Amino acid sequence: MEEINGLARCEFVVFQKDSFMIAKFKALDNFENMPDGSFSVKGDMAVKAGLEYTVHATLDSSNQKYKNSYNAIRVASDVDLSGASKSDIEKFLSEVSTPTRAKSIMATFDNPIEILENRDIEALVEAKGITASVASDIIDAYFSQKDYSEAIIEFQKYNLTTKTIINICKQFGSADLAIKMVNDNPYCLSALDGFGFTKADNVFLSDPENRPEDHRRVEAYIKFMFEKEYDEGNTWISPADMIAKLKEFIPMADHKYAVEYVRDSEEFVVERIGEDIHISSREMYNVEVEIAQNLNRLMSAKCTINLSRYKESIRATESVNGWEYDESQIQAIDNMVEKNVYMLQGLGGTGKTATIRAFLNAVEAGGYQFSSCALSGKASQNLTISTGKQGYTIHSLLGASIGGFAYNENMPLQADVVVLDELSMVNMRIFLSLIKAIKSGAKLIMLGDYGQLEAIGVGVMGGLITSKCVPMSLLKKIHRQAQDSAIITHSIAVRNGLLPSGMSLEVDESKVYGVKQDLEYTLVDKEDEDKIFDYAMDKFKLSLEKYPIEDIQIICSTKTTGVVSTYELNKSAQYHYNPYKGTGEQVELGYNDHKYYLRVNDKVINMKNNKLTESPEGIERHIYNGSTGIVKDITVEGKNYSLIIDFDGIGEVVVEGKALNNIQLGYAMTIHKCQGSTIKCVIFALPYHYLLNTKELVYTGMTRASEMQYIITSPRSFKRAIKNTSVKKKKINLARLIADELQKEQIA
Of the listed ranges 192-206, 373-387, 407-421, the one predicted with least confidence: 373-387
Query: At how many degrees (to 10) do helices 695-702 and 715-722 cross?
Result: 110
Residue 94: what pLDDT?
77
User: Which of the pair, 367 or 66, is modelled with greater confidence?
Assistant: 367
Q: Write out pLDDT tens, residues 686-709.
A: 998 867 889 999 999 999 999 999
Report percent pLDDT > 90 for the chain.
Answer: 50
Alpha helices (H) in 192-281, listed in sequence order: 197-206, 215-231, 239-249, 255-264
Average pLDDT over residues 710-739: 90
**Beta bridge mates, 638:** none
Residue 202: what pLDDT?
94
Confidence of residue 676 (pLDDT cuts 50, 70, 90): confident
Residue 418: what pLDDT?
97
Average pLDDT over residues 359-377: 91
Q: Write out pLDDT tens, residues 199-251.
A: 999 999 998 889 999 999 999 999 999 999 998 889 999 999 999 999 999 99
Task: Find the angle CA(452)-CA(457)-CA(460) to the nearest 5 degrees.
Answer: 65
Query: At how many degrees (to 10) do helices 162-172 and 175-184 cross?
Result: 100
Inter-residue contact 676 to 703 (CB < 8 Å): no
Among 721, 729, 727, 667, which Cα is nearest to 491's? Answer: 721
Of the listed ranges 68-82, 214-228, 444-458, the one predicted with least confidence: 68-82
Of the listed ranges 250-264, 361-375, 584-598, 705-719, the one predicted with least confidence: 584-598
User: Which of the pair, 313 or 748, is modelled with greater confidence?
Assistant: 313
Q: Write out pLDDT tens, residues 520-537.
A: 999 998 778 999 999 999
User: Which of the pair, 427 or 593, is modelled with greater confidence?
Assistant: 427
Backbone angles phi, psi at 367, to 5 degrees: 85, 20
For residue 41, CA distances in Å to 48, 271, 295 come to 13, 58, 60
Inter-residue contact 386 to 339 (CB < 8 Å): no
Residue 1: what pLDDT?
56
Inter-residue contact 138 to 114 (CB < 8 Å): no
Amino acid at 120: D
Average pLDDT over residues 503-509: 86
Residue 520: what pLDDT?
96
Of the listed ranges 38-47, 445-454, 739-748, the one predicted with least confidence: 739-748
Inter-residue contact 301 to 440 (CB < 8 Å): yes
Spatial separation of the C-alpha atoms in residues 73 and 150, rounded to whole Å: 9
Q: Write out pLDDT tens, residues 163-178.
A: 788 888 888 878 888 9
Confidence of residue 80 (pLDDT cuts 50, 70, 90): low
Residue 458: what pLDDT?
87
**Where does residue 675 fall: left (phi above 0), alpha (psi -120 to 50 degrees), or beta otherwise?**
beta
Inform me whether the pLDDT recorded for 401 exceeds 80.
no
Q: Write out pLDDT tens, residues 90-148.
A: 877 776 677 888 899 999 998 888 888 888 888 898 888 888 878 887 887 777 666 77
Specify the pairing of strand 417-420 against strand 370-374.
parallel
DSSP state letters, 658-673: GGGGGEEE-SEEEHHH
Query: At how many degrees (to 10) do helices 255-264 and 215-231 cross?
Result: 70
Inform me whether the pLDDT recorded for 81 exceeds 60.
yes
User: Which of the pair, 93 or 195, is modelled with greater confidence?
Assistant: 195
For residue 86, CA distances in Å to 97, 123, 134 come to 16, 19, 20
Inform me whether the pLDDT recorded for 632 exceeds 60.
yes
Q: Write out pLDDT tens, residues 29-73.
A: 766 677 777 899 988 877 778 878 888 888 887 766 667 888 888
Inform me whether the pLDDT recorded for 745 exceeds 70.
no
Query: What's the farthest any 2 CA atoms get from each other in the chain?
Result: 93
DSSP state letters, 118-138: TT-HHHHTTSTT--HHHHHHH
How far out from the chain centre does Cα 732 lie?
23
Residue 432: what pLDDT?
97
Task: Find the angle CA(622)-CA(628)-CA(634) to the nearest 5 degrees.
Answer: 80
User: Rounded mean pLDDT of the chain?
Assistant: 88
CA dihedral in degrees (447, 450, 454, 457; nearest 10)? 50
Q: Which helix (H) or strand (E) holds 100?
A: helix 99-108
Confidence of residue 594 (pLDDT cuts 50, 70, 90): confident
Backbone angles phi, psi at 223, to 5 degrees: -60, -45
Residue 188: what pLDDT?
94
Residue 746: what pLDDT?
66
Inform me whether the pLDDT recorded for 153 exceeds 70.
yes
Spatial separation of the C-alpha atoms in residues 272 and 279, rounded to whole Å: 9
Residue 21: what pLDDT?
85
Q: Which residues of 622-635 are buried (b: 16+ CB within 10 A; e: fewer)?
A: bbbbbbbbbbeebe
Q: Write out pLDDT tens, residues 304-335.
A: 999 988 998 889 888 887 788 889 999 999 99
Among 279, 277, 256, 259, which Cα is nearest to 269's? Answer: 279
Backbone angles phi, psi at 270, to 5 degrees: -115, 120
Inform me whether the pLDDT recorded for 593 exceeds 80.
no
Report percent pLDDT > 70 for the chain.
Answer: 95
DSSP SS3 for 162: helix
User: Which of the pair, 449 or 65, is modelled with greater confidence?
Assistant: 449
